[in-house]
Structure 1
Amino acid sequence: MTAYQPIDTHTSGHRFDKERRWAAALSLGFESREEGAAAPITRLVRRHHIGPLRVQRPFYPEGKTGCCHVYLLHPPGGLVSGDELRIEASVAEGGHALLTTPAAAKLYKADSHGVAWGQHTHLMVAKNATLEYLPQETIAFDGSRGEQTTTIELATGAKTLGWEVLALGRPASDLPFATGELEQRFHLSLDGKPLWLERQILDPKHRRFIGHWGQGGATVQATLWAVGIDDEAAAIEALREQLPEHNRWAVTRRRGVLLLRYLGTERNEAWALCEQAWHILRPLLTGLPAHTPRIWLT
């Protein structure tokens, strides 16, 4: 895995033209430590932040020797033109961490210069470690422009489960995603070798956006991934048996990566589907039942 590198924000500054960039960054490190308990404890041992991106404290709702829950806090609540968010998290051998967010993230309309925003997440999981990345959904306002990247580096024996839920526009307010452009990139590797590479551009002006062979006019999409399940075929069968039956989701596996996809129009439906899938898959991945973060219930 890539060694931790201090986050460089020297290029940021409070400009007000098309070249401006306002940076915020957060780097977290988790380690499993023997502290005289019956089992090792996962501790948050590194916490470095720049700008309005941070965590308050770790939680142990599953017991002191259970998974370490951490909430990623971005007080502004959304991204505007020029914002550049970078999140890094690493889990050392034997550790188990769960990262989530307190609320939906918002991607606001670009300014008159059309300056883009950026959000980049880099997750590193060591041998026999587990990382769950379960952010709440992202809502892209009409006219939003930006790039969202997720990079996951796994060592042999590492386990991970995560999702991205994206809602385009605000249909309930009659404000569809009619202009703008979003680019999403996923890169998941094992011992430096790529397992899953993906890039998609969401441009409402492109024929792919409304074509039945592409987005098909859908306003909500979600991707859930899991790596490290011993019996992937049985996991897929469990999902197909227990999740609601409709044609808006599908599940498959490739090169050790289980992928569940949703494409539809209901944000709550996509979120409920991912959460239910997590409840099914987590025991198969970790041997532990799903424990809903309290922040989701507030």
Structure 2
Amino acid sequence: MSLGISTSTAVPRSHGLARLSRADGRLRRLHQQGCMRILMPRGRAEAVLVNTAGGIAGGDRLTTEIHAGSGERLTLTTQAAERVYRSTGAVGRVSNLLALEDGARIDWLPQETILFEGASLERRLTVTMAESATLLAVESLVFGRAAHGEVLQHLHLRDHWRIHRGARLIHAEAVRLDAMPTGQATLNGVRAVATLILVAPGAGDGLDAARALIPQGAEAGISALPDMLVARFLAPSSQALRAVLIPLIGHFRAGPPPRVWQL
């Protein structure tokens, strides 16, 4: 006799889609679906992305699409650090797409992504921007939960960046990790890493000023082209990483990071 109880072993998956478009000084589109939400503090062109699922598990699919019209300025961040949980085999996939028209500016400043032991994540950041637009993008990764004394041994990470400016692909990179590298020629026990990219007319002119903001002894490097500046950071903890990142973000924004970074 059936009691109506399912014996399926399928694991629930989270799917989320968030779309935001701003043009002519107004919010033109706001679409939220599934586990993704967008909060916009009143009086500020700032959007806070919220994953109501509480983290990313294997098989989850999250997509964010942001459009800034001519002359618009938008700041995107996350409510808290994103957690990527241990996977039983499926991959969690995150796709972030940014579009900037003439003279627009987007500051893409999510808080850290924390990878748990056995996490499986494939993430893409794709940017299409006009030559007169400005992009400030920061992504941080934390390997393991420090409060639990967690040291990662196994993970699946694919992280892709593609930035198109005008009609050209100006930046492409791909990170692949299938286990934590620990040798002196690799991460050597580092617990947190970050990449900061600034793309704007004359961005490279700020190279010396940016280098001057990095504390002595910090593991960081900055390089530049005329219209692009790329910085990389290694740190023993997320707190140490923030201590180096926040002055640089403030410098390039002419103001502090989003308020939720300080909560």
Q: Equivalent residues in 2 for 1:33-182 (5 A)? A: 42-61=25-44, 68-111=45-88, 114-182=89-157
Give 1:57 deviation, angstroms. Answer: 3.1
- Which residue in 1 is equivalent to 2:255? 290
The equivalent of 2:213 in structure 1 is: 242
Contact 2:249 2:257 in 1 (8 A): no
Cα drift, residue 44 of structure 1: 2.1
Kindly indicate whether residue 15 of structure 2 is the aligned counterpart of residue 23 of structure 1.
yes
- The residue identity in structure 1 corresponding to 2:176 is I
Aligned Cα RMSD in Å? Answer: 2.0
Q: Which runs of 5+ in 2 are unaligned?
A: 1-7
Bigger mean CA offset, 192-201 vs 171-180: 171-180
Q: Counterparts of 1:248 and 1:49 in 2: how far apart (Å)?
A: 39
Task: From 204, 229, 240, give the equivalent of 1:258.
Answer: 229
Deviation string 1:61-85 (CA, Å, 9 cap, x unpaired) is 5xxxxxx111111122210111100
Aligned residue identity for 2:57: V
Seen in structure 2, the aligned counterparts of structure 1 residues 292 and 196 have a Cα distance that, compared at 3 Å, is closer
Return the structure number with greater strand share.
Answer: 2
Q: Which residue of 2 aligns with 1:223?
A: 195
C-alpha distance in structure 2 between counterparts of 1:135 and 1:16, whole Å: 34
Cα displacement (A) at 1:295: 2.1
Q: Which residue of 2 aligns with 1:194?
A: 169
Q: Hey, what's the Cα distance between the residues in 1 that align with 2:58 and 2:261?
A: 28
Please give the secondary structure, in 2, of the residue aligned with 1:295.
Answer: helix
Q: Secondary structure at the match of 2:70?
A: coil
The 8 Å contact of residues 195 and 255 in structure 1, kept in 2 or not, is answered as no
Deviation, structure 1 residue 191: 1.8
TM-score (norm 2): 0.90
Aligned-residue identity in percent: 25
**Matched AA of 1:116:** V
Match of 1:214 in 2: 186
| Matched residue type, 2:90 | V
List runs of 5+ in structure 1 lacking aligned partners. 1-14, 33-41, 62-67, 283-288
Please report how far the alpha carbon of residue 219 of structure 1 lies from its aligned counterpart in structure 2 after TM superposition. Answer: 2.0
**3-state DSSP of counterpart to 2:93:** strand
CA contact (8 A) 1:21 1:82 kept: yes
- Tell me the SS of whatever aligns to 1:177: coil
2: CA distance, partners of 1:153 / 1:213: 34
Pick from 222, 234, 239 the counterpart of residue 268 of structure 1: 239
User: Shift in Å at residue 173 of structure 1?
Assistant: 1.6
- Contact preservation (8 Å) 1:59, 1:70: no
How many residues are aligned here?
256
Aligned equivalents of 2:56, 2:135: Cα separation in 1: 27
Contact 1:99/1:133, CA 8 A, preserved across alignment: yes
> Which SS does the other structure have where 1:78 is aligned?
coil
Normalising by structure 1, what TM-score? 0.80
